[in-house]
Structure 1
Amino acid sequence: MADNKDITVLIVDDNDMTRETLRVILRHDGYDVVGETLDGDSAVDMATRLKPDVILMDVVMPKVSGIEALKSIRMVMRDVFVLMVTANKDQDTVAEAVKSGISGYIIKPFNAKKVLDTIQGVAVKVRAARTAKITESGAGPAP
């Protein structure tokens, strides 16, 4: 198992089996799954409250779509990395997601390797952003 416990993840999908599958894959690889929810409306609330490093979110969900939730999350959390996990391959939807600031796209059905490869690429960016913030603030490691 990899050492990824420093990366916090929120899973948002209206399908219980998809959420469970993602949770098992991520936890098996050492990621810290800090929350799960089934619609875009509660995703905005949970993201704001939990401040995860990464959000894995479906596009098509009840109440508020993943794209609309992403736009709301982006207004309050610019630094979070959002991966859309969806069966929707429609070019307009993909373009809208990219325009709204996604960090990646995982097409369903997915396998563990695809999920882990995608999130690992984002984890590298999360860690680099943390290092940049520490450097900018001048709060480097103690001598």
Structure 2
Amino acid sequence: MTEQSTLKVLIVDDYDMTRALLKIILRGQQFEVIGEAMDGEVGAAMCEELRPDLVLLDVMMPKLNGLEALAKIKASSHQPMILMVTGAEDEKIVTQALNLGASGYIVKPFNTASVIETLNQARESFIVRNAAAVNRT
């Protein structure tokens, strides 16, 4: 992570337009998109390879859905923050994602301001989490 707290982001969503829109929103906001995946299986593999700080993870995807990919990522050696991106307003899905280790969620359809606010909150949590980890060592 750089001095300006630029976070490396991996976007995992099967819908091209959602990935493109998220990249546009992140541009110029101290987030660097380091990769994109169209399904949970590839996303989980890319997460281990690219080691992002933050993963934007869709819930409904082919191969591995977002909840399955979330569990796989959290079981790996690299522990990024994960924000679920979902059109589902089903409280059960949101609760399950949070219980599996998601740091929060973005509800589709989203607007630029809400995404930036959520990501900036994630950035602050990331900084605090890493500072606490450094202080423990």
**TM-score, with length taken from structure 1:** 0.88
CA contact 1:87–1:107 (8 Å) conserved in 2: yes
Q: Which runs of 5+ in 1 are unaligned?
A: 138-143
Alignment of 1:112 onto 2:112: yes
1:39-54 to 2 correspondence within 5 Å?
Answer: 39-54=39-54
Residue 76 (structure 1) aligns with: 76
CA contact 2:48–2:78 (8 Å) conserved in 1: no
Residue 32 (structure 1) aligns with: 32
SS in 1 for 2:62: coil
CA contact 2:53–2:81 (8 Å) conserved in 1: yes
Distance in 1 (alpha carbons) for counterparts of 2:65 and 2:56: 13
1:4-15 to 2 correspondence within 5 Å?
Answer: 6-15=6-15
CA contact 1:52–1:80 (8 Å) conserved in 2: yes
Distance in 2 (alpha carbons) for counterparts of 1:86 and 1:58: 6
Distance in 2 (alpha carbons) for counterparts of 1:126 and 1:79: 11
Larger radius of gyration: 1
Shift of 1:6: 2.3
Identity %: 39
Distance in 1 (alpha carbons) for counterparts of 2:87 and 2:4: 27
Amino acid corresponding to residue 31 of structure 2 in structure 1? Y
Deviations 1:67-110 (A, max 9, x none): 00000000014631110111011122112111111111111000
Query: Structure 1 residue runs of 4+, over 6 Å off?
Result: none
1:91-102 to 2 correspondence within 5 Å?
Answer: 91-102=91-102
Q: Which runs of 5+ in 2 are unaligned?
A: none
SS in 2 for 1:124: helix
Residue 17 (structure 2) aligns with: 17
Distance in 1 (alpha carbons) for counterparts of 2:135 and 2:104: 26
Residue 89 (structure 2) aligns with: 89
Distance in 1 (alpha carbons) for counterparts of 2:30 and 2:99: 31
